Structures are given as C-alpha cells and as structure tokens.
C-alpha cells in the first residue's frame, strides 16, 4: 500500500537554534558564542551581553558539555568492561555505580565483546566524545599491557583486576591470598595434595590463583598435580569433575570460582563419589547461592563491594586533584562450610 502524500499545509518540524543562528543574530563569530557559552575565555562585557540577549531571543540553550566545561567537570565517569557475564564483574560494577551515585557522578558503560587493542582504543575514543571526567577499566586479559595499550593523555584512569604495570591506581582483590587460604585449608585438613580447576588462560585472576595454589603446594612439600583448565562456567567444572572422579587419589579440589566448583560437585555426585566424604571441594567468590549448594560450599569470599568502592574513590580523588598514585589489594576471607573435610581413612 502506497504511503499517503504529505499534506502541503502540514507544519515543518521545529528546528532547535544552533550556535551559528546565535552568531548571526548577535553579529559575532561562532567562536565568540562558544566562548560565552563555556565561560572559558574572556569576552568583552558588551559583546557578552549582546550574545546572551541573542541566545534569549532565539531560545538557544548551551548543551550539557558546554555547561560542564564552564563548571570545570562533567560529573560523569566512564567504565570500560570486558565480560558482563561473570558474577564478579557484575558485583563490582554494582559497587562502582552505587559509589558514583553517592559522589554525585553518573556512569557511561561500554562493554567489550573482545579484549583487543582496537576495541579498547575505540572505547576510549567513544568515552572522550561522551565527555567523561575519568575512566575505570575492568579488564582481565593478558593481551592488554602497558607497551600496547595507549591510555588517554590527561584523563584520570583506574584499573581493576590487572597485572599490567601502569603508572596509575590499580585496585584488585588479593587473588594470591585467597588461593593460598583455600589450598592451606585443604592441606591442614590432612589431604596429601590439592587438585586445581583453573580459570581460562587469558585471565589475570585465574593466573594469579593458579600461581598461588602451586606456590603453596610447593611450600608445604606437597605434589603439584596437573591443573585442569575451565572457562568459569559450571559446565566446564562438570567436565573437570568427571576427570577428577576417575582419579582415586584425588581427595581435594580447589576450583577457581564457585560456578566451576558447582560443576565439579555435580560430576562427583553423578560418579558416586561423596562430597566431602570422598572428595573435598573449595570454590572462590562466595556467590549468594554458594551457601545453598549440596553440600554448602566452602569458598573464598571476595569483597566486590570494597573493590568497586575503592576504585571509584581513587578515581574521584584523582579527578578532584588528589595524587593518583594509590593502589590497593582488598583482602579475601575463607568461608568454611560443609563441602570440605578430612580425607577418607
């Protein structure tokens, strides 16, 4: 069906007055109008009054970026984030948002599908266009390091969950401490060694937990089994658990997150190996569901709220003129529940 022709007498949509309209009305250049709108440059009083009168007559309103320039800040923070699917990242983002609201800042979030140099550079460019005061980067990929990633000049930046050596604040959970607590807990229960279901190879967090697990075993003179690499999902944990269920000497497992620990326990139950009677399992994160796993999961509690709040506080301090050399590791906590116990007699 053909579209109806437009009525000849239909009113044209109203066009908002532009900076060029104001310039013509006031008899000045567009640059002079911009200076008046932003308040950044000195304009003669008579000229300023003429421009302001033209703005008033035309109904011109400077955009938010211009008003922010006049105030000196945009009251806006950008967040570049790789992966919205992980529990830890979402909890950290919630804490950043809450802290930003309390400090009077809004958030602009740019999630990345892949942690590549191009995608990160593009995110920086987009946030520069959005006129943010500073940026929080939540990235956990080995490909991003100081020699490759170009940070925006003059822009306050805080990095979360990164092992890269940047001359700026880095906030993170103390991953090594958490893995050590988990491994020592199982060794202290009498297990000869501890098997490990590791996170993906490209993750800094997974690498730090793996390294600390291995270091702790060696420090206690315990054998170091070959780790089984997962992808943070319960399904990858289930696949690892199937392998572990066929190893009679495997009596203790440290999984790099709670979801993989859940998969491990599911596979062990299916294979007829009881938890913790035959095999003890410890996770990492302490997600809300961990206490309702069967059995309730012993795990390492990460304080995502403290990590997010510390990151936002460090960024705001940098935006508002305080030194930006603060780095912080937030301590973890061992939460002992029913999934860990001594090895079978």
**First CA to last CA across the chain, in angstroms?**
81
Contact yes or no for 136/311 (Cβ under 8 A): yes
Q: Do 269 and 263 meet the contact criterion of CB atoms below 8 Å apart?
A: no
pLDDT at 87: 82
Residues paired with residue 79 on neighbouring β-strands, in sequence order: 109, 136
Beta-bridge partners for 158: 136
Q: Tell me if 301 sits within 8 A of 332, measured CB to CB.
A: yes
For 248, phi then psi, to 5°, come to -55, -35
Q: 239-266: string of b/e by CB count within 10 Å (b at 16+)?
A: bbbbebbeeeebbbbbbbbbbbbbbbbb
Lowest mean pLDDT across 48-57, 86-95, 158-167, 313-322: 158-167
* Mean of pLDDT values over 161-189: 87
Taking 60 as the threshold, does the pLDDT of residue 166 lie above it?
yes
Q: How many CB atoms lie within 10 A of CB 317?
A: 17
Q: pLDDT-based confidence at 5, cuts 50/70/90?
A: very low
Contact 157, 151 (CB under 8 A): yes
Please compute the mean of the pLDDT values over residues 66-91 and round it to a whole number. Answer: 74
Task: Decide which of 127 and 99 is more confident.
Answer: 99
Average pLDDT score over residue span 106-110: 92
What is the per-residue pLDDT for 322?
74
Q: Note if the bond before 40 is cis, omega within 30 degrees.
A: no
Cα 142 to Cα 103: distance, rounded to the nearest angstrom: 32
Q: Give the number of other Cβ atoms within 10 Å of residue 106's Cβ.
A: 12
What one-character-per-residue DSSP string does 276-308 give?
Answer: TTT-EEE-SB--GGGGGSSSPPBEEEP-HHHHH
């Amino acid at each position: 069906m053909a579209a109806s022709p437009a009525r000849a007498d239909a009113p044209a949509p109203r066009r908002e007055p532009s900076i060029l309209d104001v310039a013509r009305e006031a008899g000045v250049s567009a640059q002079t109008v911009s200076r008046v709108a932003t308040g950044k440059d000195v304009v003669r009083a008579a000229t300023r009054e003429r421009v302001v009168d033209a703005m008033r007559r035309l109904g011109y309103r400077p955009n938010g970026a211009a008003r922010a320039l006049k105030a000196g800040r945009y009251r806006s923070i950008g967040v570049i984030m790789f992966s919205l699917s992980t529990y830890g990242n979402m909890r950290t983002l919630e804490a950043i948002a809450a802290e930003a609201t309390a400090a009077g800042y809004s958030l602009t979030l740019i999630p990345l599908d892949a942690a590549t140099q191009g995608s990160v550079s593009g995110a920086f460019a987009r946030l520069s266009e959005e006129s943010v005061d500073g940026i929080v980067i939540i990235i956990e990929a080995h490909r991003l390091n100081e020699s490759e990633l170009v940070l925006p000049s003059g822009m306050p930046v805080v990095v979360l969950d990164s092992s890269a050596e940047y001359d700026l604040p880095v906030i993170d959970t103390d991953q090594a401490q958490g893995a050590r607590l988990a491994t020592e807990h199982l060794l202290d229960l009498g297990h000869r060694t501890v098997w490990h279901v590791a996170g993906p190879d490209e993750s800094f967090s997974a690498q730090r937990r793996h390294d600390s697990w291995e270091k702790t075993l060696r420090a206690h003179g315990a054998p170091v089994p070959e780790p089984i690499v997962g992808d943070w999902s319960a399904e990858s944990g289930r696949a690892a658990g199937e392998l572990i269920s066929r190893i009679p000497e495997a009596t203790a497992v440290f999984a790099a997150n709670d979801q993989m620990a859940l998969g491990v326990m599911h596979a062990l139950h299916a294979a007829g190996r009881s938890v913790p009677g035959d095999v003890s399992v410890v996770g990492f994160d302490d997600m809300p569901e961990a206490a309702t796993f069967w059995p309730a999961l012993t795990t390492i509690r990460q304080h995502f709220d403290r990590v997010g709040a510390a990151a936002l506080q460090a960024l705001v301090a940098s935006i508002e003129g305080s030194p930006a050399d603060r780095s912080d590791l937030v301590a973890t906590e061992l939460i002992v529940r029913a999934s860990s116990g001594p090895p079978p007699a």
